[in-house]
Structure 1
Amino acid sequence: MVDANDNVVSAEAQNAEPLRRLAILGYGAGHMLNDITSACWFTYLLLFLTDLGLSPRHAAIVMLSGQIADAFATIFVGELIDRFGHFKLWHAGGSILVAISFSSVFGGCLPCKIFGINSSVLQTIGYSIFAAIFNVGWAVTQVSHMSMVNCITLNPISRVALVSCRNAYTMVANLSLYAVALVVFSIYSGKTYTDIKLEYRWIAYLSIFLGGCFVCIFLIGTKEPEMRHQSRCKNFSKISWNYWFRKVLYYQVALIYVLTRLVTNVSQALLAFYVINDLGMPQSSKALVPAIIYVCSFIVSVTLQEISWSGSRLKAFFTVGALLWIFSGAGIFILPSSLRNIIYILSITIGIANALMMVTGISMQSILVGEDLNGCGFVYGSLSFLDKLSCGLALYALESYQGSTRIVISVSDNAGSSVSRYGLGLIPASCALLSALVASTMDLEETHSEPLAEPLLV
């Protein structure tokens, strides 16, 4: 007769084995819809709204409403997932909400059509409503997908591989968006009100279609993890929030994650303004420059999946990424328009830095959760809450001053210093510096385990 404890030990040993290639690739596909719509949201939403005639401040209000809705949704969703589980069910529901609402964000102002009024106030309200709905769906999908990592496997190397693969899919999503955008911008002139709406509507529809295909792959190819199974969870009872608030590592990881997201989101939102308005580059550059960044990030993200990780190695790679961003931010700040082509070189270092910081920063969350799986939803939800709120407020503050008088800086007689130059050059670099300092104070558990069952690059 087999003892029950032996079955538990056997199940734990099996769950600690390295994951195979298909399991990792199938998981990573689950965030494609979120990633491609997020890339469109941060890169083109502000441009879209201002091109339609909204003031920068009203456009910033639309984005802020979405970020606030996202922030609060992550808290509630994380708590509900911890209570009821069913990751894939939450993921599917959130994906459907994202697909429906995102098409409406770029589909025009519905209240304006209903009331027959096209005022800026009503436009702001109309776009803000759908922006909030979109971000609620986005939060549901994100928290459910990120929370699955610790429940799919107990193997630390495989957990980093899952995060790295997810980040690689993020690069694929962004590249897909910019490829679509490049084609659409080449077809439509975007000079009239109708053309502007039509070109962004096509970008939104094609993005939803591509992302939806990958969501189907994820739902079919990924098994529902047993979050509450005793063999996977040392603490069967629900973990209270106070448990995490008593951990110093929770605050350190939270700072790392928030600062990293500020680096990537603020830079992505301001990049198009910078290359067009500050450097005077052609319209195609607002798709080409971001594409270079994500090609480099994709290559680095895939390469990182092959490394045997430890706590000290995570900190080292994160610090390297932060230093690269400090260098890139300084270059962006002093770059004159006469040397605009140097932005392509800086795009390479930004892409490498983004991948290093995102993969290692999110992997630190897995170390924080460890095997306390009954609280993973709250951890990922609360950190995402801080991320969305801080990014929303930062972008609102920057966009509110967009279009203000340019000031000549002393480093170059040719370079005017706009809000986008300050925001893209100094804010990400400052956040990167602060995050590197926080990382140096962290005491991460040194975990060593077998490498992946199958190298993903072969």
Structure 2
Amino acid sequence: MHIILNENVMVSSDLGAESNNFGKRSRLENIYFGLGHVYNDLCASVWFSYTLFYLQIVMEIPSTTAGLLIMTGQVTDAIATPVAGWTIDRVGTRRAWHATGTLFVTIGFSLIFAVNNNGNNYLSVLVYTSLIILFQIGWALVQISHLSMIPSLARDNNQSNTLTTLRYTASVICGIIVYMTTWAVLKDDANLNNVGPADFYRFRKIMFIITGIGLSAVMLFYVGLRNKWNKLRTYKQLQENEENKDKLPRNFLKSSIIYKVSLLYMASRLYTTLNLIYIPLYLDERQSDELSSIDGIRSTVATVPFVVYVVSFITAIILNFRKQSDTIVYVFGSLFSMSASIWIGIIGRNTSKIEIYTIATLIGIGGSTTLVTSLCLTAKYVKSNGFGGGSVYGIVTFTDKLASGLAVFAIQHLQNSLDENFPNFYSSVLAYVCGITALLGLLSITTLYCCPVSEEGL
């Protein structure tokens, strides 16, 4: 894909002028901005934490087929993301694309969990595939339209960091809401210890609750920023300004740092995504050991990810007051991430209750730190170079979505091909695959640190 910057980039001077319109933005308006991605975040928490678990355990779909469905969603999202970024920078307003994406998400996400589409037949797979594709296209439209607002809203890098941290904090709160809801719904039948096909109606109830909360947040987002939308201009409007035509920057795809930032974000996001997906399956694997009914899967499948998100929430708040550079903070986050993987690698699934929650704490600190700082670095890149936010975020997020889809499919295919008596498969995934991903992030920040700052704008 070849994109010429004189067709899709925002000019630094115009970004600055546009940002001044938001210079006196109140804290309440910042909160309204944070609500703009809440519905997406709620759905993402369910998608990454429970969809594979739901398809495999509740719908009893074979692991390879379930992995293929997850990969289909991630590949669709990966393709839709750069297309959405290119389109949002040129056609229509961010609000229109955000609303369109919200509609797609509502239809696709709701029906994935509302329709009892049990069975491993072609029609079942086709229905799930269609709904997942619709959901992921909508998710990409909402994500990029919301992310691309940050460089326009922020006057400087500090405000970019604030909005990015606020956005991530909202995401963490969404995860907490999802896990609290899941815990409450799954625990309503104390006579059942394991999760199975009988829990279809409970997962559908969870979906309805999440959809209601998400749509309420979207309405507040639109109403709260109703006086700001007309000041967020598209690149098409900027291009019509004669005085800007000779100021357009070079093709951002020719800048090496875009690939370094993409790799950094991919590693950060992939670590978080794989942990969210495989922690419930790891807990189900761990269930076969000697566990009391109190420490059963119905409790831990919600409480362990809940701890991850609570710790992530606290970490995100602390990061908002950091004094150190993003590079140093990212390195420390990577070390926390790697320590969690190493711990699981040493003890396998034979973890005590205290150990599993301690590991969850390390995952929360590491994942939150690396993800927030990688997004801050991306926002700085856009702001410093005057690039079109939608296009850059589209390219950066493309890598993580494609990688996560391929990784999940490969893992599920491997699990299906191994002997069923292999006892520590999912603990090995959390230990080795996630550990290697964290190490990749650490190596990526090293290459970014070594790049010429004066040349690249960071």
- TM-score normalised by L of structure 2: 0.85
2:330 is aligned with 1:330:
no
2:264 counterpart (252, 256, 259)? 256
The residue aligned with 1:200 is 203
The residue aligned with 1:287 is 302
1:267 counterpart (272, 275, 289)? 275
Pairwise CA distance, 1:336: 4.4
The residue aligned with 2:381 is 368
> Which stretch of structure 1 is more off in the superposition, 22-31 or 177-186?
22-31
Secondary structure of the residue that 1:339 maps to in structure 2? coil
State how far apart, in whole Å, the 1-side matches of 2:370 and 2:305 are.
Answer: 17
1:352-376, Cα deviation, whole Å (9 max, x unpaired): 1111111100111112212555522
Q: Which amino acid aligns with 1:266?
A: L
Secondary structure of the residue that 2:78 maps to in structure 1? helix
2:96 is aligned with 1:93:
no
Give the 3 Å change call, closer, same or farther, for CA 194–355 of structure 1 in structure 2.
closer
State how far apart, in whole Å, the 1-side matches of 2:121 and 2:247 are.
Answer: 47
The residue aligned with 2:47 is 41
The question of whether the paired residues in 2 share the 8 Å contact of 1:367 and 1:445 is answered with no
> Which stretch of structure 1 is more off in the superposition, 271-280 or 136-145?
271-280
The question of whether the paired residues in 2 share the 8 Å contact of 1:256 and 1:438 is answered with yes
Pairwise CA distance, 1:91: 1.0
State how far apart, in whole Å, the 1-side matches of 2:90 and 2:249 are.
Answer: 13
The residue aligned with 2:168 is 167
State how far apart, in whole Å, the 2-side matches of 1:304 and 1:76 are.
Answer: 32
The residue aligned with 1:177 is 178
State how far apart, in whole Å, the 2-side matches of 1:239 and 1:108 are.
Answer: 53
Q: Which amino acid aligns with 1:59?
A: A
Secondary structure of the residue that 2:187 maps to in structure 1? helix
Q: Which amino acid aligns with 1:202?
A: K
Q: Which amino acid aligns with 1:73?
A: A
2:413 is aligned with 1:400:
yes
State how far apart, in whole Å, the 2-side matches of 1:347 and 1:234 are.
Answer: 54
Question: Where do 1:307-318 residues align within 5 Å?
Answer: 307=322, 313-318=325-330
The residue aligned with 1:382 is 395
- TM-score normalised by L of structure 1: 0.85
1:182-202, Cα deviation, whole Å (9 max, x unpaired): 111112549797632211111
Pairwise CA distance, 1:264: 0.7
1:377-403, Cα deviation, whole Å (9 max, x unpaired): 111112222211110000011112235
Pairwise CA distance, 1:11: 4.2
Give the 3 Å change call, closer, same or farther, for CA 240–387 of structure 1 in structure 2.
farther
Pairwise CA distance, 1:173: 0.5
The residue aligned with 2:331 is 319
The question of whether the paired residues in 1 share the 8 Å contact of 2:263 and 2:441 is answered with yes
Q: Which amino acid aligns with 2:88?
A: I
Pairwise CA distance, 1:426: 1.4
Q: Which amino acid aligns with 1:140?
A: L
State how far apart, in whole Å, the 2-side matches of 1:244 and 1:347 are.
Answer: 38
The residue aligned with 1:58 is 65
Any stretches of 5+ residues in structure 2 without a counterpart?
Answer: 1-12, 290-294
Secondary structure of the residue that 1:370 maps to in structure 2? helix
Question: Where do 1:440-451 residues align within 5 Å?
Answer: 440-442=446-448, 443=451, 445=453
State how far apart, in whole Å, the 2-side matches of 1:134 and 1:313 are.
Answer: 37
Pairwise CA distance, 1:218: 1.4
The question of whether the paired residues in 2 share the 8 Å contact of 1:60 and 1:395 is answered with yes
Secondary structure of the residue that 1:187 maps to in structure 2? coil
Pairwise CA distance, 1:302: 1.8
The residue aligned with 1:351 is 364
2:212 is aligned with 1:209:
yes
Give the 3 Å change call, closer, same or farther, for CA 392–10 of structure 1 in structure 2.
closer
2:444 is aligned with 1:438:
yes
The question of whether the paired residues in 2 share the 8 Å contact of 1:104 and 1:130 is answered with yes
Give the 3 Å change call, closer, same or farther, for CA 235–227 of structure 1 in structure 2.
farther
State how far apart, in whole Å, the 2-side matches of 1:234 and 1:291 are.
Answer: 52
Give the 3 Å change call, closer, same or farther, for CA 155–417 of structure 1 in structure 2.
same
Give the 3 Å change call, closer, same or farther, for CA 191–253 of structure 1 in structure 2.
closer
Q: Which amino acid aligns with 2:369?
A: L
Give the 3 Å change call, closer, same or farther, for CA 386–8 of structure 1 in structure 2.
closer
CA RMSD of aligned residues (A): 3.0
The residue aligned with 2:136 is 135
2:146 is aligned with 1:145:
yes
Question: Where do 1:4-43 residues align within 5 Å?
Answer: 11=17, 14=20, 17=23, 20-43=26-49
1:417 counterpart (404, 424, 432)? 424
The question of whether the paired residues in 2 share the 8 Å contact of 1:240 and 1:375 is answered with no
